[in-house]
Structure 1
């Protein structure tokens, strides 16, 4: 009994009882208010008008609609308050997913009509229908209780004007549609907005001044539109707010073309400012130094110039800085960076070569640890400074064209994070000898091209997709297991090194390889047998080696010039899908920087870079020992731009269907043993700019055509003694009337008939004119007298006028 009384008057006991009753009450309340039947029916009616290929709404069965996928209810009332039907399948524009499937992506869309049944949901405050394909989306603008509305990427092209009635909205996302026209000024009526996203549409013109009335706005995203003015008014409007809350402003990828002056009034509350990819010009605004809360600043891809002020160093909260692709100049010192203790990424590049110089004390150690460093066309060298060596947490490293001509300490590679993904040290004069097996398991991109690296080839992990090592001094053979070690490679460029040995057969295991360049090495031997069953490769450049044997039956777009290849040209080259359709962008490999290849064209060796490589469709088999005839199947490669088969032992005729190569600009068949006449279809090559058919055994008349008449250099046909016609000597009989063929006879008869009618017309005209005037004067006496009287009067008037003029001149003298 005493125990009972003690328990009864124990405060802890009473608290436990009270907590139990509260939980029980909540449980009973929830179970009693699970779903409103009227709202359940409205949701089912909405579902009936939708197509759901992926079965996302398969859970919409049963009595309790609050348990359906995408539906949330108020625990106390049971009313539906939230609908989230956003497609969660990865957006292909975001990339990074090798397993991405176009068909699955399209099946993930809900399609159909949004019906008025949703208006039954009187308590709905959250609606997300994004990344679907709906019709009649404007009906949702009648749900006045909404505070959150996301209808991005739903395929709308007409701006939903009734959306201005949703005065309770705090978040509005209309991005990734096809809205056109000016910025809707009526949006200013939504004074409760905190988050507004209109990015990735086609809105244009000036941003209206009244947009600055959004004093509650925290994020504003107008990126990827066509706005071209109003930024001063926009920023001033926010600055006039007594309690400005704007934290994020994104105006990137528009058409703003104005000066960013130092007096620009920028809200000091900003944490994220993105003005990238516009046409802004001028120097770095000094007012940016007052943005003490700023965490990210993006000015990339504009026309900014001048020096970067030391006030940049006042942005002590800065994490991400992107000033790349501008025209900066001057000097950066420790003062610019010494207070940026939170800095994690820096992007800095100039359009001109090295006008911006990093002038830090060699031993200076910065107060930050970067994850990303991107410096291009800026002077960092010649030494490899300690401030770079101290960065050991890097994930992405790009130090391209930075004038570093130093040797990199071997321990720097050891100290780099094992999480490193991108390493680009290209276009410097860096000296180093790398380990044969680098320790970066996550690295997928490495570019060490145009340096002085030496030693055996470095090998990356199995995640590597692109490897650029051209123009160095790497030596030795290509490892026999190269293909097994890096099976995901899509680009491999080992050109212009000192590699020797044979091409390992393991390269044929690279099923994703699209571009291969081994040019200008010391490779020898034959192509591996497995090459003939190697599918998918796009471009192969192994020119300037000492390869021998036959050309494999599967090759990709080949550049095999200057080797010792023999045998015939395989007919299967017609299977080059990249050249069998009209020129287009057939290469989808992501290459952030230039890829170089060289072809013999237009009379000399031309160097093409990545930007041009996508449209240079060439076959170069020159300077080998190939025999046999030119396969007629090659003329089915209608997208071919350059064909160079010079300096071989080819025989036979030029294919009669060569005129099918309508995009051909360069044709070099010189220094072979071709014979016969040049086909007449040759004259239909309307884009031909360079031709060399010299030193063969061609005969007959050179075909004529509009484009061929511009090729006046006789050397392009020299060494063919039996050729004649422009631009060589005339063919026999050109100086006399040619012997008429049947067609010529018909033409001659037509010419004779024309001349006869011309003579008859002239005779009749003379008779009619002469007798129409003279005959009348002979027959009509009065007309004859009047005619001669007229001439007598004219003679007297002319004589009088001359006499008067002579008298006037004499008086003046």
Structure 2
């Protein structure tokens, strides 16, 4: 069905880009027809189409092929071994299909730079890959076995994503070989054991995601050497880690700096064609991240994320004060641990924080007054601790649901359901029903009455003193009264109208 198309290109066709179209039919038929006209084809990008079938033996006809992109199609079945025999293949993209089968054990003999097989049904142990590989994404498959292949000399590897498989065993203590690694995502597997100290050799690491495994032991102090962590920086949630949070977290200098790094997850490197020719390549990191209870994929905006997630472990001790130096941090989740002590007094200096979750620990003392300065917060949870005292007053803190503060017997003041003792003494009304702007209707009423009563008492005695002791003052007062009477009337009418709109909202 494609015989009319390819003769138009002639025998010298080297690059064919047809991605993002509606080409359909069996992939074998397409490749068979293409091979009759494009014997020198080097790059084929047929991604994001509707091809079906499998990648069969017809691929052997493209001995000059360096780049093959068939992602986002409807391919199934297994891959022909002929694919792994292409002598010049460097970049292979087959993600988002339904391809199954095991990977060839002869992969290490290739010159592959990039391999993206994510979102398929590959299974079996992961074989050794070429030592020169830069990018390896095998996420969302059914690979099992261990990670011994990582101890091969992958000195060029920059991106490694093996998340969402059924990989078991421990992390091998050979990270010193991966000195250029920038992204390491092993989340949601069945890995166990300790995190080896050699992880500190990953001096270029920007993203570390090990969540939802069974890691145990303490956080290695060598993490302080990973100073470039800056994307979804440190996700070790849903493990069995214990011990304390090391104070060296402020070594993560990319989290200390405020601002975003939109180009941080775009990487450039050069691959070799022959001894005289090079090709400039670019890839953008993409990760599936579980954040705020949802799994989302981040790619182009991954550089916006700067987060620490140590939730659902067995961590003890206090939050080190050094954490508050991470002024650029956007997410801090320490929930569901056994942390104790007070919330650091200077936590309000982390003004960039969007999410702060300290729930289900054993924190005590009062919430720091500096938290009133955290105007960017859109998700706060300090529930089920031993906090006490009044919730600091700010528009942001009073806007959260009362459930975000429950389980703290001594905590009082809005938006909690408990009055503070001084409120009881003054007879101040207390209602947690929120208006549209985060303040409760009764809170507006309270401040209106308190402010009005205070102002009236002060003004009354000043005026009485002036009228009783000063004749000229009496004359000035009544003249002033006549001149502002109408203004006061109009002002009060406008104020009452606004107050009623808030109450109705």
Task: Give the TM-score of the pair, scaled to structure 1.
Answer: 0.47
Measured in 1, the distance between the counterparts of 2:54 and 2:297 equals 37
Corresponding position of 1:357? 51
Alignment of 1:395 onto 2:395: no
Corresponding position of 1:45? none
Shift in CA distance, 443/765, structure 1 to aligned 2, threshold 3 Å: closer
Corresponding position of 1:473? 166
Contact conserved, 1:323 with 1:347, CA < 8 A, in 2?
yes
Contact conserved, 1:540 with 1:559, CA < 8 A, in 2?
no
Query: Which range moves more in the overlay, 684-693 or 749-758?
Result: 749-758
In the TM superposition, what is the alpha-carbon distance from 1:385 to its structure 2 partner?
4.5
Deviations 1:90-140 (CA, angstroms, capped at 9, x unpaired): xxxxxxxxxxxxxxxxxxxxxxxxxxxxxxxxxxxxxxxxxxxxxxxxxxx
Contact conserved, 1:620 with 1:643, CA < 8 A, in 2?
yes
Larger Rg: 1
Measured in 2, the distance between the counterparts of 1:632 and 1:511 equals 24
Measured in 1, the distance between the counterparts of 2:482 and 2:135 equals 87
In the TM superposition, what is the alpha-carbon distance from 1:372 to its structure 2 partner?
1.5
Shift in CA distance, 359/634, structure 1 to aligned 2, threshold 3 Å: closer
Shift in CA distance, 595/341, structure 1 to aligned 2, threshold 3 Å: same
Measured in 2, the distance between the counterparts of 1:654 and 1:697 equals 11
Corresponding position of 1:448? 138
1:560 corresponds, among 215, 236, 250, to 236
The aligned runs of 1:533-682 (5 Å cut-off) are 534-538=225-229, 557-585=233-261, 587=264, 590=267, 591-599=283-291, 601=292, 604-607=293-296, 609-682=298-371
Contact conserved, 1:421 with 1:442, CA < 8 A, in 2?
yes
SS at match of 1:596: strand
RMSD: 3.9
Contact conserved, 1:574 with 1:636, CA < 8 A, in 2?
yes
SS at match of 2:94: strand
Shift in CA distance, 394/478, structure 1 to aligned 2, threshold 3 Å: same
Contact conserved, 1:340 with 1:367, CA < 8 A, in 2?
no
Corresponding position of 2:5? 311
In the TM superposition, what is the alpha-carbon distance from 1:693 to its structure 2 partner?
1.5
Corresponding position of 1:348? 46
SS at match of 1:342: coil
Residues matched between the structures, number: 429
Shift in CA distance, 340/520, structure 1 to aligned 2, threshold 3 Å: same
Shift in CA distance, 628/323, structure 1 to aligned 2, threshold 3 Å: same
SS at match of 2:46: strand
Measured in 1, the distance between the counterparts of 2:484 and 2:189 equals 85
Measured in 1, the distance between the counterparts of 2:34 and 2:463 equals 89
Shift in CA distance, 471/340, structure 1 to aligned 2, threshold 3 Å: same
Contact conserved, 1:516 with 1:539, CA < 8 A, in 2?
no
Measured in 2, the distance between the counterparts of 1:451 and 1:766 equals 77
Deviations 1:746-779 (CA, angstroms, capped at 9, x unpaired): 8565543798899957975899xxxxxxxxxxxx
1:420 corresponds, among 112, 115, 119, to 112
Alignment of 1:717 onto 2:405: yes
SS at match of 1:499: strand
Corresponding position of 1:338? 36
In the TM superposition, what is the alpha-carbon distance from 1:489 to its structure 2 partner?
2.8
Shift in CA distance, 382/524, structure 1 to aligned 2, threshold 3 Å: same
In the TM superposition, what is the alpha-carbon distance from 1:569 to its structure 2 partner?
3.3
Measured in 1, the distance between the counterparts of 2:427 and 2:331 equals 37
Alignment of 1:405 onto 2:100: yes
The aligned runs of 1:246-325 (5 Å cut-off) are 310-323=4-17
Measured in 1, the distance between the counterparts of 2:162 and 2:76 equals 21
Shift in CA distance, 446/693, structure 1 to aligned 2, threshold 3 Å: closer
The aligned runs of 1:678-689 (5 Å cut-off) are 678-689=367-378
The aligned runs of 1:731-810 (5 Å cut-off) are 731-732=420-421, 734=423, 750-752=458-460, 760=478, 764=482
Measured in 2, the distance between the counterparts of 1:441 and 1:763 equals 89
SS at match of 2:254: helix
Corresponding position of 1:690? 379
Alignment of 1:372 onto 2:75: no
2:203 corresponds, among 511, 527, 547, to 511
Measured in 2, the distance between the counterparts of 1:752 and 1:308 equals 94
Measured in 1, the distance between the counterparts of 2:235 and 2:339 equals 18
Measured in 2, the distance between the counterparts of 1:424 and 1:751 equals 75
Alignment of 1:433 onto 2:125: yes
In the TM superposition, what is the alpha-carbon distance from 1:716 to its structure 2 partner?
1.1
Shift in CA distance, 616/563, structure 1 to aligned 2, threshold 3 Å: same
Measured in 2, the distance between the counterparts of 1:376 and 1:420 equals 17
Shift in CA distance, 748/325, structure 1 to aligned 2, threshold 3 Å: farther
In the TM superposition, what is the alpha-carbon distance from 1:404 to its structure 2 partner?
1.0
The aligned runs of 1:135-154 (5 Å cut-off) are none
Corresponding position of 1:222? none
Measured in 2, the distance between the counterparts of 1:689 and 1:659 equals 14
Alignment of 1:326 onto 2:20: yes
Alignment of 1:522 onto 2:214: yes
Contact conserved, 1:628 with 1:651, CA < 8 A, in 2?
yes
* Alignment gaps of 5+ in structure 1: 1-306, 542-556, 768-813
Measured in 2, the distance between the counterparts of 1:736 and 1:520 equals 49
In the TM superposition, what is the alpha-carbon distance from 1:644 to its structure 2 partner?
1.9
SS at match of 1:376: coil
Deviations 1:7-56 (CA, angstroms, capped at 9, x unpaired): xxxxxxxxxxxxxxxxxxxxxxxxxxxxxxxxxxxxxxxxxxxxxxxxxx
Contact conserved, 1:491 with 1:515, CA < 8 A, in 2?
yes
Measured in 1, the distance between the counterparts of 2:379 and 2:91 equals 44
SS at match of 1:643: strand
Corresponding position of 1:384? 79
Corresponding position of 1:463? 155
SS at match of 1:723: strand
Corresponding position of 1:726? 414
In the TM superposition, what is the alpha-carbon distance from 1:426 to its structure 2 partner?
1.9
Contact conserved, 1:365 with 1:386, CA < 8 A, in 2?
no
SS at match of 2:304: coil
Contact conserved, 1:376 with 1:398, CA < 8 A, in 2?
yes
Measured in 2, the distance between the counterparts of 1:565 and 1:320 equals 52
Contact conserved, 1:465 with 1:491, CA < 8 A, in 2?
no
Shift in CA distance, 593/692, structure 1 to aligned 2, threshold 3 Å: closer
